[in-house]
Amino acid sequence: MKITGIEWGRVSIPLRTPFKTALRTVASVEDIIVKVYTDTDAVGFGEAPPTGVITGDTAEAVCGALEHHLAPAILGQEADDLERLLLRVQSALVHNTSAKAAVDMALWDLYGKKYAIPVYKLLGGSRSRLTTDLTVSVNAPEVMARDAGEAVRRGFDCLKIKVGVDPALDVARLAAVRAAVPADTVLRIDANQAWTPKQAVRILNGMQEKGLNLELVEQPVPAADLEGLRYVTERSDVPVLADEAVFSPADALRILQTRAADLINIKLMKCGGIYNALKIATLAELYGVECMIGCMLEGKVAVNAAAHLACARSVVTKVDLDGPMLCAADPVRGGAVFSGKDIALSDAPGLGVEGVGGVQPIGAAG
Ligand code: MG
């Protein structure tokens, strides 16, 4: 199965409500969809959400990486030769992890299609269902309480609460949310790097003293401040999950070796795809550290790929794959079924995606 062409285009999916974090406010998911063609009928699908504030990848950067580096790296190559091809993707250029992830997942998709096996089974997985949390955007406490109540009515029993905008309000935000949901609702919070280390310890301990019962806190301090991350991990009762601090397997290893965090968040868009995500999962296993599988604000092609990875590795114990549930529409045919908190993988070959509607073509090669 030879790779004969690659196309990319843009799709825009409206959100149910604006998505607000300490880093940004957005009203729609803007994604780059990638299709990799072969000399057979098989087509591999990939997706890259340009998330400049986290990955540094803009839409233009994703398209430039595809056109000038990734397309030349895979065109004319044998899709069968998967590992060599995945390495060509990773070494085609530095950074640009979102564009690499889109091509990486399309290659896994093709390989699974060639051998008529779903990717999660190809990777040795035996579970095919996941339960995701739902994100509540950062807002005034009463708005967040209302949104959390609405999420519980939609069937979610685990909520990820965004905090960190005007940190003085964060304890009040969590108190309002906690009061608005059943006592057994799991609450995890994400500060998206907004706090200083001392501020983080003060806020987290304040939340625990109020009995707000947090499962974990995601990336309390700036990504580059590993000392600060470890400071919080050592002094807070709330388990600390490293998100923006972990892009590559090497980043994960550094955090694991220094015990700078209790948990690691794996996202395909940070690490460049399934190939590197598997390495991070293996490193975490070696250190006895559990992982979350997360996503950017992204559509179903990429979140579906992340779900396949998660189903293949038991070290992934926490699931934050709510991208499709935040969207008001789903242009993707095939792949996993997302229904409330439940994600049910398709047993179709590869990643199971059959098509994406409404894609505006941008570029092609081959
Ligand atoms: Mg996060």
For the beta carbon of residue 221, count every other beta carbon within 10 angstroms: 26
Looking at residue 303, what is its pLDDT?
98
How sure is the predictor about 85, in pLDDT bands with cuts at 50, 70 and 90?
very high
Looking at residue 342, what is its pLDDT?
98
Give residue 53 CA to ligand 1 midpoint distance, Å.
12
pTM of the full structure: 0.97
The token duo for 211 is 């009995």
Catalytic residue among 20, 35, 162, 318: 162
β-partners of residue 186 are: 158
- Which residue matches tokens 């269902």? 129
- Which residue matches tokens 């093709």? 110
Average pLDDT of the residues in 201-205: 97
In tens, the pLDDT along 153-173 reads 999 999 999 999 999 999 999
CB 158 within 8 A of CB 216: no
Give residue 218 CA to ligand 1 midpoint distance, Å.
6
Give residue 84 CA to ligand 1 midpoint distance, Å.
31
The token duo for 229 is 């991350």
Cα-Cα-Cα-Cα torsion 354, 360, 363, 364, nearest 10 degrees, comes to 30
Catalytic residue among 35, 100, 267, 341: 267
Q: Which of 18, 10, 58 is closest to 326 using CA atoms?
A: 18
Per cent of the chain over pLDDT 90 is 99
Is 162 considered catalytic here? yes
Looking at residue 22, what is its pLDDT?
87
Give residue 303 CA to ligand 1 midpoint distance, Å.
15
Domains of the chain, start order: 3-116+357-361 (3.30.390.10), 121-354 (3.20.20.120)
Give residue 316 CA to ligand 1 midpoint distance, Å.
16
Q: Which of 87, 38, 92 is closest to 65 using CA atoms?
A: 92
Average pLDDT of the residues in 7-27: 93
Is 267 considered catalytic here? yes
In tens, the pLDDT along 86-112 reads 999 999 999 999 999 999 999 999 999
Give residue 353 CA to ligand 1 midpoint distance, Å.
26
- Which residue matches tokens 């699974």? 112
The token duo for 167 is 């940190």
The token duo for 61 is 């950067």
At residue 338, φ and ψ (nearest 5 deg) are -105, 115
Report the distance separating Cα 291 and Cα 199, nearest Å.
25
In tens, the pLDDT along 176-188 reads 999 999 999 999 9
Average pLDDT of the residues in 16-30: 92
Report the distance separating Cα 118 and Cα 79, nearest Å.
16
Report the distance separating Cα 278 and Cα 89, nearest Å.
15
- Average per-residue pLDDT in the chain? 97
Length of the chain: 366
Average pLDDT of the residues in 101-124: 98
